[in-house]
């Protein structure tokens, strides 16, 4: 058995050779020589500072050597005692094993203590630059390490870029308040300017922003006696009259039960043009045809939303609805939706795409929204196809669905309504939509998973066109 101990402090090496015999002990032979020899020219070494854990390792090695000596010297006597006691009938643990366990525990404790003391006493700042720093030419690291003293240079955290900074640009411009007549002003939605645009394809209902010199540079005031809206869920049913001082809808839509005035507030019974029994009952009818509570439908879009009762009641079923409708001549209907706490925007399906990303909604809804779906080669139906996810649903209620019953109330002939529904059915078929069901006042179609087969089959159906290079998110 050969044990090697190295100590940089004493600059020597000692080799101990221990030969263990089975009967009469051991014989140790030692030799020593001066160290180190002259280093070769091709060898790079890094000196280890004195007093480090190597000294602790040497001490631990000496302790191990003493342990071997004790074990070897005591082994014959212990073996003899074991032989004498073998005739004893009482089983007991050999003394040698007990002594060995005690010595092992003691040696481990001594090694740990010597290691900790050596590491603590060997702490020094005089560490020479390592080979790594020299190899990668870390001149700064070498100079700081060789000095042995902490750097007195302060760290510079200032910016050193050359970009100019104009403090005058931070000056806040103060805007005066606008006149009170502009309390319901909506940017790019001026009814007087809208009259200058053509009415074809509802272009006059779109956003039309003024030139830069005609922009307002004042703060829009709140309506007189404005109050904080009700908190949800109370806001679903109530809104302050002073926040939207318009009675037109309560008079015009009194039969349809859209909105009612009760003292200083509006009340929303949940009625609509096509759901006189309330939005909840209407949604229950949809749920009977298409499951709304299984998690497959989470987002919806409502075109021509009115006061957004459909979207408000869908929120109770964990479905978020984006409602949009154009601004009327007297007020924006979506203002009622916003006061109720329902997501809504002013918008219209006209000459531009609606500002929503492709495949963003699980369900699209039109309840007597008065959009000519069968006109213009189905451009509006294609827009619904764009924003619907694959497998999404399109729900249509109102003209021309169930025309046999409602033709007189809609003041249209049965032939006209039948032709309109046939054209919508044909367009949906060309888009490869699948008609899921038509029951009562509801008709539901489902968008396909993809349009590959639909595009391949355009040898028969040339319209509506589906362009492969079309950027579906250009409006977004």
| Statement to judge: residues 215 and 255 lie in one domain | no
Q: Per DSSP, what are the bridge partners of residue 253?
A: none
Percent of the chain with pLDDT over 70: 66
Indicate the DSSP class of residue 151.
Answer: -
In a domain, 476, yes or no: no
Residue 118 lies in a domain: yes
Task: Calculate mean pLDDT across residues 457-472.
Answer: 61
Residues 301 and 414 in one domain: yes
Residues 313 and 236 in one domain: yes
Whether residues 446 and 409 fall in one domain = yes
The SS3 of residue 221 is coil
Same domain, 438 and 300: yes
Expressed as residue numbers, the domain containing 13 is: 2-37+49-81+96-146
Q: Is residue 114 part of a domain?
A: yes
Same domain for 32 and 179, yes or no, is no
pTM of the model: 0.62
User: Which of 152-166, 276-290, 391-405 is predicted least confidently?
Assistant: 152-166
What is the reported pLDDT for 104?
82
Tens digits of residue pLDDT in 414-457: 999 999 999 999 999 999 999 999 999 999 999 999 877 777 66
The answer to whether residue 422 sits within a structural domain is yes
Domain count across the chain: 3
- Say if residue 316 is in the same domain as residue 441: yes
Q: Give the DSSP H/E element, type plus range, for residue 391.
A: strand 388-397
Segments of 210-325 assigned E as strands = 238-240, 260-262, 265-267, 299-303, 320-325
Model pLDDT, residue 475: 64
pLDDT score recorded for residue 60: 59
From residue 245, alpha-carbon distances to 93, 165, 182, 239, 336 in Å are 100, 48, 14, 11, 11
Task: Please compute the mean of the pLDDT values over residues 466-475 and round it to a whole number.
Answer: 67
- Is 167 part of a structural domain of the chain? no
Cα(97)–Cα(78) distance, integer angstroms: 10
pLDDT (0 to 100) of residue 52: 44
Tally of CA atoms within 13 A in the half-sphere of 214 that contains its CB:
8
Residues 111 and 194 in one domain: no
Least confident of 56-60, 228-232, 327-331, 364-368: 56-60
Interval 39-86: pLDDT, tens? 444 444 444 444 444 454 555 566 666 666 666 555 555 454 455 554
What CATH number does residue 371 fall under?
A: 3.40.50.150
State the pLDDT at residue 168: 63
CA pair distance 404, 354, nearest whole angstrom: 33
417 closest CA partner among 464, 374, 446, 377: 374
371 or 29, higher pLDDT: 371
pLDDT at position 126: 46
């Amino acid at each position: 058995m050969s044990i090697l101990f190295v100590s940089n402090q004493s600059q020597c090496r000692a080799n101990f050779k221990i030969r263990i015999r089975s009967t009469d002990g051991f014989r140790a032979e030692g030799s020593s020589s001066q160290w180190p020899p002259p280093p070769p020219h091709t060898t790079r070494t890094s000196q280890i500072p004195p007093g480090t854990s190597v000294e602790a390792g040497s001490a631990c090695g000496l302790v191990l050597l003493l342990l071997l000596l004790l074990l070897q010297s005591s082994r014959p006597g212990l073996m003899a005692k074991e032989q004498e006691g073998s005739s004893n009938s009482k089983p007991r643990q050999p003394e040698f094993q007990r002594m060995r366990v005690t010595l092992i525990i003691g040696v481990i404790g001594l090694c740990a203590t010597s290691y900790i003391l050596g590491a603590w006493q060997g702490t020094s700042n005089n560490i020479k630059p390592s080979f790594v720093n020299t190899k990668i030419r870390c001149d700064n690291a070498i100079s700081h390490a060789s000095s042995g003293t902490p750097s007195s240079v302060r760290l510079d955290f200032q910016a050193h870029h050359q970009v100019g900074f104009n403090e005058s640009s931070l000056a806040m411009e103060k805007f005066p308040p606008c006149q009170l007549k502009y309390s319901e002003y909506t940017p790019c939605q001026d009814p007087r300017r809208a009259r200058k645009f053509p009415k074809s394809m509802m272009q006059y209902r779109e956003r039309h922003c003024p030139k830069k010199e005609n922009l307002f540079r004042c703060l829009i005031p709140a309506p007189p006696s404005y109050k904080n809206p009700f908190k949800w869920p109370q806001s679903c049913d109530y809104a302050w009259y002073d926040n939207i001082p318009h009675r037109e809808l309560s008079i015009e839509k009194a039969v349809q039960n859209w909105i009612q005035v009760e003292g200083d507030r509006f009340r929303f019974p949940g009625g609509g043009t096509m759901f006189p029994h309330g939005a909840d009952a209407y949604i229950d009818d949809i749920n009977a045809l298409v499951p709304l509570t299984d998690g497959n439908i989470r987002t919806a879009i409502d075109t021509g939303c009115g006061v957004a009762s459909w979207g408000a009641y869908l929120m109770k079923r964990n479905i978020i609805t984006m409602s949009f409708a154009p601004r009327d001549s007297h007020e924006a209907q979506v203002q009622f939706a916003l006061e109720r706490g329902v997501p809504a925007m002013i918008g219209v399906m006209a000459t531009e795409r609606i500002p929503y990303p492709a495949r963003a909604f699980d369900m699209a809804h039109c309840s007597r929204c008065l959009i000519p779906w069968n006109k213009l080669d189905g451009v509006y139906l294609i827009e619904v196809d764009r924003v619907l996810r694959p497998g999404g649903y399109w729900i249509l209620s109102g003209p021309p669905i169930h025309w046999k019953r409602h033709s007189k109330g809609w003041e249209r002939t049965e032939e006209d309504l039948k032709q309109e529904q046939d054209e919508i059915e044909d367009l949906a078929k060309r888009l490869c939509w699948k008609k899921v069901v038509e029951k009562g006042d509801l008709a539901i179609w489902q968008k396909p998973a993809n349009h590959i087969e639909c595009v391949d089959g355009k040898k028969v159906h040339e319209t509506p066109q589906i362009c492969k290079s079309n950027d579906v998110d250009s409006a977004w």
